[in-house]
Amino acid sequence: MSFDCSSVLEPWSAAQAMVLPLFGLICALPLAPLLRRFYSRRMVALMSLAEVAAPLSAEVPKSPVPVLSSSNEPSLAQCVRQRHVRLVRASLIAWLCANAVALVMVAAHVFYGVTPTSYLFWLVLVCSPFLVNLQWQSTRRAVLLIGIGAAASVLQVLFGHEDTLGYSLSMRLANYLVMVLVFYLATAHRTLRAIVIFAGIVAIGTVVGIYMAVVADALMTCLHPFPRAGLSLALTNMTTLSLAVVIIGLFAGLSFVPLLIIERWLRRGWLSDTLTFAALALTFLFATVMGTSTFALVPRLALLALWLAAVGAAYAVALRASRWPRKARTLLVLRVFSRDHRSEKALDALQSRWQLAGPVVQIGGPDLMALNFGLGQFIRFATFRVDHLFQATAQQARGLFHGLDPNPDFEGRFRLHEVFCTNSAWRVAVEQLVDRVDAVLLDVRGFGNHREGTMYEVELLARSGRLPQTVGLFDAETDWDCFERHAAASGALQALAGRIDARSPNAIDACFQRLLAIADRPDTSSLSAPASEGSRL
């Protein structure tokens, strides 16, 4: 059998290589829900662990130096507004930069077959990462975004350039719709995007591994023409398969290296979860667009890097150009663990908004696990390192607050600290948190005699004199008699700072404003309080 050895090491075509990230994301889609389920079940299993021994040392982790709040800062509500405007401005400038570079490349004939409709399609897709960066998220908005993407796909198919691959109309439409769906899931879908990105990167490593396995097999065939060195067909297949398993596993394993780097950057605050999704989505999108370029692989990669660098630089410069008010307050969210999606969404909306006012701390539970699901969190879990994520013993929980970063990331958004605890550690963790926050949101929807955990938290708040800094969110099922009984049994008579009915249409706004007012009082204790010259901003 003749075999052309020169073709063995032929690399992928430039267009194939550029579409690889998108292909990786598509491969990751079916895995994402399974991995999310796996994560939730394992975290619940970890929360049921019992302490068997104290850690070796009583070493208390060093607290990151908090930024200081200067006295002449505006009110907390004004700070939140200023930070929001700063993020919107920077995102808009980055979006304009992305489009300006795209237009320059179109004018320079870097791409072939660009039509007004294909440009419109690109414009719709490229909006998604920037909107995600602004946390522009709700079901209605997601439907709107997908709807516009689908409409742009139809326009692109009907009025775009002729497909050189000879696909039918429906096939082309399906291609575009899949692209819209992939970008939605990888950037905007709250509970899946972290896993899609994680699994996408592992899938890319696996695909590269498959390619290398094919090359290795072809190389072996080339060196020892078939049947190889007298091996039987079955044995040849067996050796090929075992070698392929080694190579694919190796490349899939190596894909964890970039994931570990991303996790470290997230932990240090050089990246935020939101920015990571936006940046990775832009990378995938730009790489896919570069697939339509007429250039060879290396110039394409150079252009891709330049494009990303230009957008990143524009974003960073725009952020630096606006002042970031150095004032922050910490919010503690205590709640009745619920399985009701509506209550999850209310809490999610509140904590997302508070991240511009200061850090949010809460005890992790099965109810908000999916919504709070972060890329860094999942990478830590998948790499079997659960520090910064888990309080395993009461002794560790005593030093809990020192391990929580009070500073914002480089964009000026504060962290959401979801503290997972074992059965032995959660009470100590709550005690540590209650003493050191500026405002407390107590979600007592569904509260009653059967909620022992929340009863303990109510008693603790009353005992530590924190009820006047606490806003209660209630519904029809809340048993206020039970609440009063437990609050009174713990000592001095105190009242909640506010009770907000979660059924009212503007409950979230009212709750947010009330919490801002409480946290902004000069007499609030605390801890938060950012600023310092050495901060990341």
Partner 1 sequence: MADRYYSIYADRSGCLAMHRSGFSWIAALYPPLWAVPRRLWLACLGWLAISLSAKALLLALLFHLALTGRDIFGIYLGAILIECWVLGRFANSFHRWWLQRHGYVLIAATPPAQGAAA
Judged by the rule CB under 8 A, the positions of this chain that interact with partner 1 are: 42, 45-46, 48-57, 59, 61, 230-232, 234-235, 238-239, 242, 245-246, 248-250, 252-254, 256-257, 381-387, 389-390, 392-393, 396, 422, 424
Find the shortest distance in angstroms from Cβ 45 to partner 1.
6
> Who's near 171: CB < 8 A, 6+ residues apart?
none
Backbone angles phi and psi of 474, in degrees to 5: -125, 170
Find the shortest distance in angstroms from Cβ 211 to partner 1.
16
| Identity of the residue, 64 or 249, whose beta carbon is nearer to partner 1 in the bound complex | 249
Q: What is the three-class DSSP state of 161?
A: coil
CA distance 393 to 371: 26
Find the shortest distance in angstroms from Cβ 205 to partner 1.
9
Find the shortest distance in angstroms from Cβ 247 to partner 1.
10
CA distance 413 to 357: 8
Backbone angles phi and psi of 197, in degrees to 5: -65, -45
| Identity of the residue, 51 or 435, whose beta carbon is nearer to partner 1 in the bound complex | 51
Find the shortest distance in angstroms from Cβ 217 to partner 1.
15
| Identity of the residue, 15 or 244, whose beta carbon is nearer to partner 1 in the bound complex | 244
| Identity of the residue, 205 or 408, whose beta carbon is nearer to partner 1 in the bound complex | 205
Find the shortest distance in angstroms from Cβ 209 to partner 1.
9
Tracing tokens 């497909």 back to the chain, one arrives at 163
> Who's near 461: CB < 8 A, 6+ residues apart?
334, 434, 440, 442, 467, 470, 487
| Identity of the residue, 234 or 476, whose beta carbon is nearer to partner 1 in the bound complex | 234
| Identity of the residue, 35 or 311, whose beta carbon is nearer to partner 1 in the bound complex | 35
Find the shortest distance in angstroms from Cβ 239 to partner 1.
7
CA distance 434 to 335: 13
Give the DSSP H or E segment for 418: strand 416-421
Find the shortest distance in angstroms from Cβ 216 to partner 1.
12
Give the DSSP H or E segment for 350: helix 341-354
In angstroms, how far apart are the furthest CA atoms of the chain? 92
> Who's near 390: CB < 8 A, 6+ residues apart?
46, 420, 421, 422
Find the shortest distance in angstroms from Cβ 529 to partner 1.
25
Enumerate the β-bridge partners of residue 335: 443
| Identity of the residue, 230 or 522, whose beta carbon is nearer to partner 1 in the bound complex | 230
Find the shortest distance in angstroms from Cβ 360 to partner 1.
22
Enumerate the β-bridge partners of residue 417: 361
Contact between 306 and 445 under an 8 Å Cβ cutoff? The reply is no
| Identity of the residue, 43 or 285, whose beta carbon is nearer to partner 1 in the bound complex | 43
Dihedral angle sign, alpha carbons of residues 111, 116, 117, 120: positive
Find the shortest distance in angstroms from Cβ 94 to partner 1.
33
Contact between 278 and 87 under an 8 Å Cβ cutoff? The reply is no
| Identity of the residue, 272 or 395, whose beta carbon is nearer to partner 1 in the bound complex | 395
Give the DSSP H or E segment for 391: strand 390-391
For helices 139-159 and 116-133, angle between their N-to-C axes, nearest 10 degrees: 160
| Identity of the residue, 144 or 238, whose beta carbon is nearer to partner 1 in the bound complex | 238
| Identity of the residue, 358 or 364, whose beta carbon is nearer to partner 1 in the bound complex | 364
Find the shortest distance in angstroms from Cβ 231 to partner 1.
8
| Identity of the residue, 107 or 234, whose beta carbon is nearer to partner 1 in the bound complex | 234
Find the shortest distance in angstroms from Cβ 39 to partner 1.
12
Which is it for strands 498-501 and 470-474: parallel, antiparallel or unpaired? Answer: parallel
Give the DSSP H or E segment for 288: helix 273-290
Tracing tokens 């509506």 back to the chain, one arrives at 342
Region label for 470, one of left (φ > 0), alpha (ψ between -120 and 50) or beta (otherwise) = beta
CA distance 326 to 87: 15
| Identity of the residue, 113 or 253, whose beta carbon is nearer to partner 1 in the bound complex | 253
Give the DSSP H or E segment for 244: helix 233-254
Contact between 347 and 443 under an 8 Å Cβ cutoff? The reply is yes
